[in-house]
Structure 1
């Protein structure tokens, strides 16, 4: 069953422009409510969290209207990280969890992510069925069966306790100075509080959200300011989250940035030593660096690659019984602790290794030497199909021939933005730039 509204991580777009309109949010809420009412008997509940975007208020109200119209009782968490919704959906015996967030996107964007009653993101098939209900039109509940809505004041604190529970018992962060960049997003309270409660001296940045500054020159996609703060304060570590705190980037004491591949390499090696890495396997996407794959192979460990999107990483993990996976962008999924990527939990795992080994961050963030990798994005207008243009196809075919036996090429449409992503890896950096720039130029020309 095909999906038109849903991308790789729910429904996403610019606020007040289709599909992220109030009218559509009401219909999405009603369709999701009807779908889960059909699936499950008894009391019907949905928990809703959001990040700090200004448009979150209107989407929260619109979804609530749609959901209650089909008899769902709505529990409003307010601003919480995405993994908190994954945690609290099964904890509160809800049929459905919804996170209102566009993650690392600019403030004008927003999105709607769904979690099932088990706390895991919905499958493609389930999202397709919800889309079908939207197209068919949803029958509302009888007047006597309309749902209620109420605020839940302690959702953030429940989440914080679960996060601290993932940190080794008895271990503390006393004497450590940590910069935490919350991207003016959903973790602006939770992350600094957790680190402080574990004993760290906390220097918090990106913790003054105003509805319009989420991810604005801060967070995991713009770590430069946090890196400068780490160096200026002589901090031991910097932790950069994104707008909904499901991804993390680490900054060492020198200000150098480490991506998700380096974090996963460290964790996989350590978990394997402790016989905790299920089936000796790490799950990552096609975007992860070839150096990570070589690092794992050198230790007798396996790498399973999936399509881009943490949901596909999790689907592979659940299907095959793996317990560690993630993305180069910083989604780190540990199903022993959480149902989705959790930037704060991953940051604590890194801190635990620093404490255990009495090592500096710089000694733990360079597990492998990355193969030179170049990624460039080309924006295109809605309705355009640049990858179908003959000249673009020819450019891609030529690049693939040039890289045969020397590297790899990956071309894909973003599932969250109108972008074509062109990525290549090759030891020959001159060839790397040549093939990527050639393809980018052809795509840009076709989209002009």
Structure 2
């Protein structure tokens, strides 16, 4: 078996390897068996997904594999990737699973695994999962996927966290904000948060039907929102991708802010509010010296 896990979990076309039924089922049982060996008890796992049409099918196979091997599984339904990271960290889950292909088109999907700390498992853990997948028994020839009702309280908990903690002290009264939700996982969450903080919200691409995620919208097509901004009177535009693990910001004149500009603005705001822990900003290799110079000044 070649390497299954890339930089952002397992990715592929839904229904084809590595997102075929036997491989998905093997991933589920391998995750459970490895966690059980580590914990000395059956693990408790939360699963969430973006709204693309293959998500329910993949979720069903994962849940079947986990239940067959003794895990306690809870479905959060359609929720963002940061939402699952938050829930895994705060709701006593041993692992979290996100079913999403992020900004990719609708035929694709993926599986991301999170530890109880709300962070992606490291490469060493993922290698162990792959090794276990090669040793686990063959899955049943017929897999009957169970139906778990999603626990809506989990999504409400995450929305409350965004409003009460992340948005603490933030008053957006008088702000007119355009949100492009990519017909993805943020379609319900984002408007509720920004409206609760006082903003007047205009929504685009917030009607997911399972087939329209990222299609001509969202962060991967930022030019669409930028074009709208230039001809309207919004103060700010925000475009998410399919699972809302990325956001791109657009000014009232249609100017798109790059990642360094966004980091710089967020860092200054957090520092002014006394929320920048250690007076430290962590960037990626994509950031340049200009960001460091600006922050030092």
CA-to-aligned-CA distance 1:388-423 (integer Å, 9 cap, x gap): xxxxxxxxxxxxxxxxxxxxxxxxxxxxxxxxxxxx
Give the structure with higher Rg (CA): 1
5+ unaligned residues in a row in structure 1: which ranges?
Answer: 141-146, 300-448
Query: 1:38 is matched with which residue?
Result: 37
Does structure 2 retain, via aligned residues, the 8 Å contact 1:3–1:127? no
Indicate conservation of the 8 Å contact 2:60/2:147, yes or no. Answer: no
Q: Which one scores higher on RCO, CA 8 angstroms, separation ≥ 6?
A: 2
* Alpha-carbon shift at residue 162 of structure 1 (Å): 0.6
Query: Once the 2 structures are TM-superposed, how far is the Cα of residue 275 of structure 1 from its aligned partner?
Result: 5.7
Q: How far apart, in 1, do the equivalents of 2:69 and 2:36 lie?
A: 8
- Looking at structure 1, the residues matched to 63 and 149 of structure 2 have their Cα atoms a distance apart, in angstroms, of 10
Give the aligned length: 291
Partner of 1:129: 128
The yes-or-no answer on 1:88 pairing with 2:87 is: yes
- Give 1:114 shift: 0.5
Partners of 2:90 and 2:269 lie apart in 1 by 30
Deviation at 1:82, TM superposition (A): 0.6
- Residue 252 of structure 1 corresponds to 251
1:222 aligns with 2:221: yes
Q: Which residue of 2 aligns with 1:423?
A: none
CA-CA distance at 1:73 after TM superposition: 1.7
SS in 2 for 1:188: helix
Find the counterpart in structure 1 of residue 99 from structure 2.
100
* Closer/same/farther in 2, CA of residues 279 and 3 from structure 1, 3 Å limit: farther
**Aligned equivalent of 1:190:** 189
Contact kept? 2:67, 2:73, Cα under 8 Å: yes
Deviation of 1:293 (Å): 3.2
Distance 1:5 1:105 in 2: 17
Give the CA deviation at 1:172.
2.1
Residue 71 (1) aligns with residue 70 (2): yes
Question: 2:93 & 2:186 partners in 1: Cα distance?
Answer: 22
TM-score (norm 1): 0.61
Q: Is the 8 A contact 2:32 2:42 kept in 1?
A: no
- How far apart are the structure 2 equivalents of 1:155 and 1:215? 25
Separation of aligned partners in 1, 2:50 and 2:161: 19
Distance (whole Å) between structure 1 residues aligned to residue 209 and residue 272 of structure 2 = 45
Please give the per-residue CA displacement for 1:15-46, whole angstroms capped at 9, x wherever unaligned: 12211212211110111111111111345311
TM-score (norm 2): 0.91
SS across alignment from 1:189 = helix
Structure 1 residue matching 2:190: 3-state secondary structure: helix
Corresponding position: 1:207 with 2:206: yes
Q: Distance in 1 between matches of 2:180 and 2:160?
A: 20
Structure 2 partner of 1:262: 261
Residue 44 and residue 150 in structure 1: after superposition, are their counterparts in 2 closer, same or farther (change >3 A)? farther
In 2, are the aligned partners of 1:74 and 1:148 still within 8 Å (CA)?
no
Retained in 1: the 8 A contact 2:36–2:42? Answer: no
Matches within 5 A, 1:409-448: none
Residues 178/16 of structure 1: CA separation in 2 closer, same or farther (3 Å cut) = same
Q: Corresponding residue for 1:21?
A: 20
Alpha carbon RMSD of aligned pairs, Å? Answer: 2.2
Cα separation, partners in 2 of 1:126 and 1:76, compared to 1, 3 Å: same
Deviations 1:178-232 (A, max 9, x none): 0011111001000011111221111001101111211111111211221233233
Given the superposition, is the C-alpha separation of residues 291 and 90 from structure 1 closer, same or farther in structure 2, using an over 3 Å criterion?
A: closer
The equivalent of 1:235 in structure 2 is 234
Q: 1:99-143: CA deviations, max 9, x gaps?
A: 000111111111100111222211111111111100111599xxx
| Structure 2: runs of 5+ lacking an equivalent | 140-145
Distance 2:212 2:147 in 1: 32
